[in-house]
Amino acid sequence: MVEFIAGVNPCPAPVCTVCIANYNGESLLEACLDSILSQSLYGRLQIIVHDDASLDGSVALIKRKYPQVDLLISTQNVGFCVANNRMVDLARAPYVLLLNNDAALFPDGVETLLTMAEASAQPAVLTLPQYDWQTGDLVDRGCRLDYFYNPVPNVEPRHPELAMTIGACLWAPVTLWRQLGGLPDWMESLGEDLFFCCLARLRGARVLVADQSGYRHWQGKTFGGNKASEGALSTTMRRRRLSERNKTYALFVCTPSIAMWAWLTLHLCLLLSEGCILALLKRDLAILTGIYLPVPVALLKNRAMLMDYRSQVSQQRSLSLHAYFSAFTWIPRKLSMLFRYGIPHIGK
């Protein structure tokens, strides 16, 4: 069940709908929403928050301090994909901006994205440079991908063309969103942004990063992991399980040509080998059975759906094989992270 509370919004024709998926984000929401209220184009924005059955005071906070926000209150926890699909269904603007509740825009963020979108000759998925919430250091200018669909942070201004942008700050035309079917709800959370961007590129849309402005992001604050701390990587079983499964789904559905089958076989062999090695090193069989073995099981269980999805994507593809892989890099992301940080800690 979902309750909708319309906000007091004086703008009848917004240029952008900002969508914020929230779960237990009471301590984060004020900075996020205040950054939207501080936008140079604030008067032309629609703001929607989807509360995903939070157990804290998130809903009370929004009702008390942010009456201009359109609020969706879900009685069940449905995850990032469903939450954003629900919000985009209510969007009154031609563009949507997905923004994490642990992110805050620079004051000219929306204006920068709108200027880019209006100047683009074709539909484009856009993002802003990402800066660390605590240190202010540049984290990335969007991401490239390695050939196993692991995101590789792009820090070079000379590479505006991306393979993907993370869902913490993702701008897209509503028409493109609907053509692609939004975010796949069967992914639950994690990797849906990668999947969406790959589909968009296959349809001929561009994925770009702005060369100015930006947003601050508290990486991993709402889902755990995803950030090195004190020279080491830390993640959780659930995050790793969803990430490995969903990246494999993306590889299966989006990789053009029949060569995908050979690449998928190599990917699964390497993935299961990784699981065995980590389980031995950590002396914890749950790492193998809880993270890695579910990947081929999920592929087999959902093979009919995924094959149908892949067939539709292949029929609608308008991008050449060379152009699709132009935003990929040969350096395996996991290997470079292993050399830099060592074996990650995997929490429960």
Same-domain status, 176 and 246: no
pLDDT at position 235, please?
A: 83
Same-domain status, 184 and 234: no
Does residue 111 sit within a domain?
yes
Does residue 253 sit within a domain?
yes
Same-domain status, 6 and 40: yes
Q: How far apart are CA 319 and CA 214, in angstroms?
A: 29
**CB half-sphere exposure, 266, CA atoms < 13 A:** 9
Does residue 222 sit within a domain?
no
Same-domain status, 262 and 207: no
Same-domain status, 194 and 271: no
pLDDT at position 222, please?
A: 59
Does residue 156 sit within a domain?
yes
Same-domain status, 255 and 207: no
Query: Residue 110: helix, strand or coil by DSSP?
Result: helix
Does residue 258 sit within a domain?
yes
Beta-bridge partners for 234: 227, 345
Does residue 93 sit within a domain?
yes
> What are the pLDDT digits (tens) for 82-128?
999 999 999 999 999 999 999 999 999 999 999 999 999 899 999 99
pLDDT at position 231, please?
A: 63
Rounded mean pLDDT of 162-180? 96
Beta-bridge partners for 19: 48, 98
Full domain range(s) for residue 191: 2-217
Structural domain count, the chain: 2
What lies within 8 Å, CB to CB, of 267 at 6+ separation is 148, 248, 251
> What are the pLDDT digits (tens) for 25-42?
999 999 999 999 999 998
Same-domain status, 57 and 206: yes
Average pLDDT, the chain: 92
Same-domain status, 187 and 286: no
Domain endpoint, select from 183, 217, 251: 217
Same-domain status, 202 and 232: no
Does residue 125 sit within a domain?
yes
Task: List the CATH number of the domain containing 14.
Answer: 3.90.550.10
Same-domain status, 192 and 297: no
What lies within 8 Å, CB to CB, of 81 at 6+ separation is 182, 183, 184, 185, 187, 188, 189, 192
Same-domain status, 26 and 133: yes
* The model's pTM: 0.94
